[in-house]
């Protein structure tokens, strides 16, 4: 059986991205592998073994075109309202909290953040399938 271990995104500014993910999601650097033309930074926390891999291509100066194929990363939290307030207090400009219903029942509550490179991050209340 396959096990999801990480997802990779390309970023331009290592410090800016690491600082954002630390502040926004409590992710810390688990490993940093520096190569001649690129650097890989693996971020994680104690909530999960899953990691976010940041790839910094050293010769890149212009923003990446995210195109229309990228969706979002999703993470779950125990207290969505508290995380939304924390993100707002930190100046991260969280989107509004949305309650998404299906067949008259709550499916999910969530908000979105946007990282320094424009990647969307969905923050979901732990509920139902979103654990």
- Contact yes or no for 103/81 (Cβ under 8 A): no
Catalytic residue check, 47: no
Angle at 42 between CA 90 and CA 60, to 5 degrees: 85
Reported in sequence order, the residue ranges of the chain that DSSP labels E, i.e. its strands, are 6-11, 28-34, 38-45, 48-57, 73-77, 98-102, 105-114, 120-125
Q: Which member of 51, 53, 83, 122 is catalytic?
A: 122
Residue numbers annotated as active site:
122
């Amino acid at each position: 059986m396959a096990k999801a271990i990480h997802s990779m995104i390309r970023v331009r500014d290592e410090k800016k991205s690491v600082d954002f993910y630390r502040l926004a999601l409590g992710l810390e650097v688990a490993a940093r592998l520096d190569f001649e033309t690129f650097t890989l930074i693996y971020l994680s926390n104690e909530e999960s073994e899953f990691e976010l891999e940041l790839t910094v291509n050293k010769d890149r100066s212009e923003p990446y075109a995210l195109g229309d194929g990228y969706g979002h990363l999703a993470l779950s939290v125990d207290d969505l309202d508290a995380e939304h307030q924390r993100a707002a207090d930190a100046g991260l400009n969280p989107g509004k909290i949305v309650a998404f219903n299906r067949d008259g029942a709550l499916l999910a509550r969530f908000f979105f953040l946007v990282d320094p490179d424009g990647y969307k991050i969905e923050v979901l209340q732990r509920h139902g399938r979103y654990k």
